Amino acid sequence: MSRTLDVLKKVYKPLRVTLKGKATILETTSGKFLVKDKNNKDIKKVFNYLKSRNFDCFPSLVDDNRVDLNVYEYIDDVDMPKEQKGLDMVDVVAMLHSKTTYYKTVSEDKYKEIYENILNNINYLTSYYNKLFSRIENQIYMAPSSYLLIRNSSKIMASLDFAKEQLDEWYEKAKTKNKERVSLIHNKLSTDHFIRGDKGYLISWEDAKIDTPVLDLVTFYKNEYFNIDFETILEKYLQKSPLQEDEKKLFFILISLIPEIKLTDNEFINCKNVRMSLDYLYITESLIRPYYAIKEEEK
């Protein structure tokens, strides 16, 4: 990157150069520019497609003629509470999904593959936690993190049972479909990748692809569940870009899988990791429960 960056410095003649994460900011007499690695992604192609769908909530690509770098317009971010940023961001995400949605023909094998991948994950987590609980129960002196896990073991296993039950229900309905709703998804959603300037902008499009919008929501949730009230976020999204019932069920299944807890030799870190995983479990249950309560009332 340094050699190409040296060329850019000669072209743009910056007054100041600032490193910002994996990007470089060039401040010139004609404005600010952001320089990032290309990462083998044709961003120009992505942006042209978005423009064709009347979606322009992304920074302009100023220069893509370099071998390994792209130059973007730099947008100053308005400082705001994270909750407000999340609400502004979900408006843009819903617009992205709505404007790029289309249906493609798929075979049953597609849904079978999704089912088997998620089922394998559930089975792995079930086995992992069963073994972990067995080891803990055989301890003579139980560490604080172990005690916290054992106290919540039934809750953890219940969440995995719930995911398995819902996955079976999802597959029974999904396998009869021959079309799938897809859209362009950003694929790395977090409030760190959203800027509020004169309007809302999504940045960092290197992982963008065509897939189910559910994946964007799952990524958004896992990155921000602890920082913002996702119940409000989800409600706002569904008002602007409603999910089909099987999509909603798939979203709930994917977020209900409690991650594998990484235990170390440091008990302080173990307690922190266990607490974070349990927080995820309870926050997720709180988000999901009202939707299933409504379903029960409708029966």
Considering 59, 74, 89, which residue would you say is the last residue of a domain?
Answer: 74
Based on the number of CB atoms within 10 Å of its own CB, is 280 exposed (0-12), middle (13-18) or buried (19 or more)?
Answer: buried
Domain assignment present for residue 87? The answer is: no
**What angle in degrees, to the nearest 10, is found between the helix axes of 153-174 and 267-298?**
50
Mean pLDDT along residues 246-260: 94
Q: What is the pTM of this model?
A: 0.91
Domain endpoint, select from 74, 109, 138: 74
User: Same domain for 64 and 211?
Assistant: no
CATH number, position 204: 3.90.1200
189 phi, psi to nearest 5 deg? -70, 130
Instruction: Give me the number of domains the chain comprises.
Output: 2
Number of residues assigned to the chain: 299
Assess whether 68 and 118 both reside in one domain.
Answer: no
pLDDT in tens, 206-227: 999 999 999 999 999 999 999 9
- CB atoms under 10 Å from CB of 122, counted, come to 20
Indicate the residue type of 208.
A
CA–CA distance, 17 with 40 (Å, rounded to integer): 25
d(CA 38, CA 35): 9
- Domain span at residue 236? 97-298
Interval 157-182: pLDDT, tens: 999 999 999 999 999 999 888 899 99
pLDDT of residue 157: 96
Residue with tokens 């990032």: 36
**Percent of the chain surpassing pLDDT 70:** 96
40 and 182 in a single domain? The answer is no
Q: Average pLDDT of 121-130?
A: 96
> Same domain, yes or no, for 50 and 149?
no
Q: What is the pLDDT of residues 4-27, one digit of tens each?
A: 777 788 888 888 988 888 888 999
- Tell me: do 155 and 215 sit in the same domain: yes
Q: Are residues 55 and 179 in the same domain?
A: no
